[in-house]
Amino acid sequence: MKTSSDGRRLIEAFEGLFLKAYDDGEGVLTIGYGHTSAAGRPRVYPGQTITADRADSILSDDLVQVEMRVGKLIDVAMSQNEFDALVSFEFNTGDLGKSSIPAKIGAGRKDEAMTTLLQYVHGTNTGKVYVGLARRRRAEKMMFEGDLVTALKIAGVAEKSYDMQPKATAPPKPPPSSPTAKPQSVPASRPSIWAALSSLLASFLRRG
């Protein structure tokens, strides 16, 4: 499976786009959309800068590796939303394989799996609880459960960029049919003047 456009937007929104290398708060140099040296090339170094197009390309490469790991760890069929949520989680934490989430999903205990996912709100090196991570976990849970609208809203993705199918609109009503023309009454023909004269002449002769 591949990450959908909406799944990618979720990741981009939470990672943010940084064109210059920075410390992620845990002592890890990061650039682009959450790329670190641990994810593979390019190696991130102090003072490094990249373009937005390069950041997009690096994210695509990083996602390929993450998608492969998720596909191997989850041995049951997944919906697109479920897959996207787990890709986001693995991209951010790298801990999917170390957690009980795959086993719980495989056993059909998806609610328990999401309860476990929500616990991953601590910094890897400092153990500090991050509000941003808690928000991301909620969004991933919503996406996993199929509530894509809420997930993207939590991530701050503009609704106009959603990839969901547009709501069906009712077909336009046909124009009202033309009213049936009412038959016009045909006036009776008027008696001719010769018929009137003949009637008067006959009356006169009877009197005579």
Closest CA to 136 of 161, 117, 158, 149: 117
Crossing angle for the helix pair 110-117 and 131-144, to the nearest 10 degrees: 160
- Give the HSE-up count for residue 151: Cα atoms under 13 Å, Cβ half-sphere: 24
Closest CA to 23 of 48, 40, 42: 48
Place of tokens 């959908």: 4
Residue 20 carries which side chain, given as an amino acid letter? K
Chain-centroid distance, C-alpha 207: 104
Question: CA dist 173 to 13, 118, 168, 169, Å?
Answer: 41, 49, 15, 12
138-148 burial: b if 16+ Cβ within 10 Å, else e: bbbbbbbbeeb
Which residues does 25 contact at the CB level (< 8 Å), separation at least 6? Answer: 123, 126, 130
15 in catalytic set? yes
Q: Which two tokens stand for residue 103?
A: 């086993």
Out of 12, 15, 67, 82, the active site residue is: 15
Residues with catalytic function: 15
